[in-house]
Amino acid sequence: MWFEKSSNEIIKEFNTDRINGLSSREALIRKDKYGPNKLAGKKKKSVLRLLFEQINDVLIYILLAAAVISALLGEVSDAVIIVIVVILNAVIGLIQESRAERALESLKKLSFPKALVKRDGSIQEIASEEVVIGDIVILEAGKYVPCDLRLIETANLKIEESALTGESVPSEKYAENVLEGENISLGDQQNMAFMSTMVTYGRGVGVAVATGMNTEIGKIAKMLDEDEKNLTPLQVKLAQLGKALGFAVLIICVLMFGVAVIQKRDLFEMFLTAISLAVAAVPEGLPAMVTIVLAVGVQRMIKKNAIVRKLPAIETLGSVNIICSDKTGTLTQNKMTVTKFYADGILNDISGLDVKNKVHSALVKDMMLCNDATYSADSKTGDPTEIALLELGAKFDLYKEDENKLHPRANEIPFDSDRKLMTTLNKFGDKYDIITKGAVDNLIKLCNSIYVNDNIVPLTEELKSKIMDASDSMSKDALRVLAAAFKRVDSTEIEIDSMERGLTFVGLVGMIDPPRENVENSIEECRKSGIRTVMITGDHKNTAFAIAKELGIAKDSSQVILGYEFDKLSEEDAEDKIDHLRVFARVSPEHKVKIVKTLKKKGNIVSMTGDGVNDAPSLKTADIGVAMGITGTDVAKDASDMILTDDNFSTIVEAVKEGRNIYNNIRKSIVFLLSCNIGEIIALFIGIVLGWPSILRPIHLLWVNLITDSLPALALGVDPDDPDIMKEKPRNAKEGLFSGKNGALLIGNGILIGIITLSAFYVGTRIYPNSLMHAQTMSFVVLSVSQLFYTLSIRHSEKSMFQVGIFTNKYLIGAIVLGIILQNIVITVPFLASVFKVFRLTLNDWLFVLLLSIIPLIVNETVKILWNRIVKS
């Protein structure tokens, strides 16, 4: 590893010149050998490929086969209706997902256009694509790092690496900090600079050791490119359902021909009947229903500050039982903020600071004057730590611009990473103040007095002990502690070496990247709902644990582990320990992927939230990746399934609620459709076994499945939210669509619908023995209308339709009314009646079929009442 070697070893290994750099000729040779310094693009999917992915589904294939067979048998109208359903399903999905798979394009944008290099003995500005292995690259504040570098010279160099490592503050860099060991994380490789990170302070020189796809950013690009597509739980279950239905269709056809042979029926007639049963077995409206319900859910989520990029992702949220969250920018605000201070002998929260107290005021003003950052309401530049000090002053209407006018800087000693101090000389009236800020351990050694009660008194060992106790207390809370001191002098004629001697201690400030508002409440709501929150961060262990403890994610340090420690565990040990762990600190992108994969192996449905480039691979690996919309990088957004437009962790909880409700709605729609189809199969099959004529024609079944069933199914799909949904625990990922009561509901109602349909046909043949069409019409109407009434009871498995509210879903009421009207039109309009081969029913016929049709509703409501009484007793 490059960070393990000295700068001289690196210079020798890459055969470069520290002073003159590479020659132009050598640079061309190396570019031809290693290629340009850019990330490889990923081939875009064509519209045809995306369209194929939408229709590549067993259910769709069964529908298309049914359409072809229907067309060959002359039932052109049946075939046309099926094809329309398939096209509608594909187009909706295509529109929603057409912008996906652009992660590598966004990564390419992070390769910034210009770089300063030494070539032919002079400094040249070249396109970053032209940087080659062995180039001597010069870094300055405000510049992006063009490739991975082994630093050979530094001067107070700090680099912002949060997008890559997740660390909330810029990393200090050193040229000769030679490290050894394979467990050194990226954030701890202080003699390395990585592609696409930004220099915030100082300057440096480095040797290009990796370019393009061989950089750390490039490794992430490869991980995104190679990661295979994950199917959501609903997609898996629908695929399984499609296979089961396809198998059922084959079994039905074989049984029908078996019955035909035994009963010596006409084989062609039985072939038509088998096709009828095949049509009955497949819910033609199911794919379109699921797609449309998910699309409607997407629109509802937009109003709740969440953009869903892939339709099935919204239902996945409903089954999530673990949310893995990045710390920086997701759980926290991604900006350093002063939260505590120590001055005038008192340690307190920042809310207790009083600028009327002269010691307090001196502490704030000294921190602002000894500061190189700039801050205003519109912009801020500089080191995040120094910006936090200026924001502290702004809270008390103190601004650096005003203070600089009153107390202009006359001299300075810049910050030095060895001294860990910065000193300025500022004019105060006819005198000057030397102001020093920095690490408390270093600064207190330079002080011989302390500013207390508006007096300067000797700094005794007892007072020193109190200062260090205050510093330790802040450090235990993972605060970054800075101290301030001053000394008054008569003029600017003072030797630099003596400026930082005999100082007067003023006070301390402690800062941290604080949690976002309402995040703690959201995490608690998740906990009550059976959802575990796990923090995954590149930050230091103590800092991560402090935030996790404050938010209620972790209770003790045994729940925290370092990334390299987890990576060293075997698969078995990792799976054994991961249920106890709540915080993963100092992790790399590879560690994050392993964590997510281990959680998934344990049968969890995992959501991963994040905003940085380093989060992208794990966002893609998770069951659902959630990116931040404001602070999130393009890479994170394009690798995700959902984007939060307000960057609020609390929005995830709302998304989970929406996901749970949508899944419930889809499931009851599927149960409704399939129980209706089972009813059709039972009615047809029993009728044939009993030797009756076909009680329903293929076009009757197609009408019921595509029109009468589909509209109520869609209405069920947009059923209003259940207010008690978050009182339920996340469903088991292995749980089937028909687990629990749903299976009994499906089969029981299927049998019930089948029996009343057979009853209608039997009574019709007795009342009208010479009119098969009349009996078929009665069974056709009962099959259709009974399913419409049945929707009222299926809205909730426990609450009665009166508790849910009959008119709370106006779409469903409209679908029922419209369904009955359409059914009446089909049997009363002469042209349609001839197409459907049905008979106009009399008033008595209608009364009879309506009485039969309401039976499933009455039975279901009665069962709910009895069930609730049994449970309560």
Closest CA to 515 of 652, 377, 325, 688: 325
Q: Which two tokens stand for residue 270?
A: 């039985």
Question: Distance from CA of residue 727 to its chain's centroid?
Answer: 23
Q: Which two tokens stand for residue 684?
A: 């047809």
Residue with tokens 């915080």: 583
Q: What is the rounded distance in angstroms from the CA atom of residue 653 to the CA atom of residue 155?
A: 46
Residue 201 phi/psi, 5-degree rounding, is: -160, 145
* 537 neighbors 619 (Cβ within 8 angstroms): no
Residue 35 CB burial class (10 angstroms; 0-12, 13-18, ≥19): middle
Closest CA to 585 of 167, 231, 220, 214: 167
295, β-bridge pairs = none
E strands, 513-551, are 532-536
Q: Which two tokens stand for residue 717?
A: 């799909």
Q: Which SS3 state, helix, strand or coil, does residue 805 take?
A: coil
Among the listed residues 57, 135, 326, 641, the single catalytic one is 326
Length of the chain: 873
Cβ-based neighbour number of residue 311 at 10 Å: 24
* 66 neighbors 278 (Cβ within 8 angstroms): yes
Cβ-based neighbour number of residue 643 at 10 Å: 21
Q: What is the rounded distance in angstroms from the CA atom of residue 669 to the CA atom of residue 791?
A: 9
Q: Which two tokens stand for residue 73?
A: 């048998």
Known catalytic residue at 326: yes
Q: Which two tokens stand for residue 468?
A: 């260090």
Q: What is the rounded distance in angstroms from the CA atom of residue 203 to the CA atom of residue 332?
A: 29
Q: What is the rounded distance in angstroms from the CA atom of residue 570 to the CA atom of residue 646?
A: 39
- For residue 100, what are the contacts with CB-CB under 8 A and spacing of at least 6? 309, 310, 638
Q: What is the rounded distance in angstroms from the CA atom of residue 453 to the CA atom of residue 343?
A: 10
* 717 neighbors 293 (Cβ within 8 angstroms): yes
Closest CA to 860 of 759, 808, 790: 790
Q: What is the rounded distance in angstroms from the CA atom of residue 450 to the CA atom of residue 453?
A: 10
Q: What is the rounded distance in angstroms from the CA atom of residue 563 to the CA atom of residue 592?
A: 8
Q: Which two tokens stand for residue 523?
A: 């995490």
Active site residues: 326
